[in-house]
Amino acid sequence: MLGKTIVMTGATSGIGRVAAEQLAAQGARIVFVARDAARGEATLSRLRQLGPRAEHRVHHADLSSLADMKRVAGEIAAAEPRIDVLANNAGALFGSRQVTRDGLETTFATNHLSYFVLTHGLRERLAAGGARVVNTSSASHRSAPADVEDWQSAKKFSSFGAYSRSKLYNILFTRELARRLAGTGATANAFHPGFVATRFGSGSGPVLAVAVRAAQWFALTPAQGADTLVYLAASPEVATVSGQYFYKRHIAKTTAAARNDELARRLWAESERLTGIRWEANPRG
């Protein structure tokens, strides 16, 4: 990874931080997006220790805000002539249905639309470098509610239901993105990190946060969870693989809904409508 530039969200804690540190130690330059300034600076300091010759950089943004998503994508695109890996890793679980300033359900905005908007904003840099897009999904997509056309859980909300849907959307987004990147040299894959002991769920409310912490006694370590992310970002074995869902470095089976290309196209169209983005099939177009 020497000399490679990696853009990452969710790099200040959990599997994202471990992956960023491992990739920096391999010689990569890490450009990451952080919401919390203090955690962002702490992560930047650590990356500089691991890779002192690389000009690591942090950008600050709230990934639930469309304006922030578009702004930070523009800033990164302007500063980076080539991107080798985009790791869309940020994700959150919320204890109640919340709505962003844009009128979007917060789980949907943070866990899905941030992937969509950031990838769109960087599309020319990704195609120029024949880059890899790595999207963090989850096996929880298997329990996504059947009414997947209720994109933002407006009819019926539950914390894990909204989260599971967002992880299904990550896979559907990956499939459609891979189709649109075909012929550019760039690839897109999703993966399940496993259930990992991280800060995940810490902002979901006291009851849910306690339940998540209790379950973490049986969880994987962040290093174990980060392994497949690092593999998809760096391994030559998957340099030309695209549109797949991985678990423990292997292609894994998804649900029928996650393999539904018509559903993927409809989600893409809805994402364009909500964000005001028109994304042509050719990322250079």
Q: What is the CATH number of domain 5-275?
A: 3.40.50.720
pTM equals 0.90
pLDDT at 214: 45
Inter-residue long-range contacts of 49-56, CB under 8 Å, 24+ positions, other chains counted: 50/21, 50/24, 50/25, 51/24, 51/25, 51/27, 54/24, 54/27, 54/28, 54/29, 54/30, 55/29, 56/24, 56/29, 56/30, 56/31, 56/32
* Residue 231 is among the residues annotated as catalytic for this protein: no
Domain ranges for the chain, please list them: 5-275
Look at residue 139 in the predicted model and tell me its pLDDT. 93
Q: Which stretch of 49-53, 114-118, 233-237, 277-281 has the lowest confidence by average pLDDT?
A: 277-281
What percent of the chain lies above the pLDDT cut of 90? Answer: 78
pLDDT at 101 over 50: yes
CB 215 within 8 A of CB 206: no
Q: Which residues contact 37 (CB under 8 A, 6 or more apart)?
A: 60
> What percentage of the chain reaches a pLDDT higher than 70?
88
Rounded Cα gap, residues 241 and 161, in angstroms: 30
pLDDT in tens, 78-91: 999 999 999 999 99
Q: Render pLDDT for 178-201 as a digit per residue (tens, 0 to 9).
A: 999 998 999 999 999 976 544 554
Amino acid at 241: V
149, amino acid identity: E
For residue 182, CA distances in Å to 19, 243, 282 come to: 27, 10, 9
Q: Can you tell me the distance from the alpha carbon of 94 to that of 108, in angstroms, rounded to the nearest whole number?
A: 11
Q: Do 88 and 9 touch, CB atoms closer than 8 A? A: yes
- Cα separation of 214 and 216, whole Å? 5
Q: What confidence score (pLDDT) does residue 264 get? A: 96
pLDDT at 89: 96
Predicted local confidence at residue 215, as pLDDT: 47
Query: Which member of 115, 163, 169, 231 is catalytic?
Result: 163
- Whether 234 shows a pLDDT value over 80: the answer reads yes
- DSSP sequence for 213-256: HHHGGGPBPHHHHHHHHHHHHH-GGGTT--S-EEETTEE----T
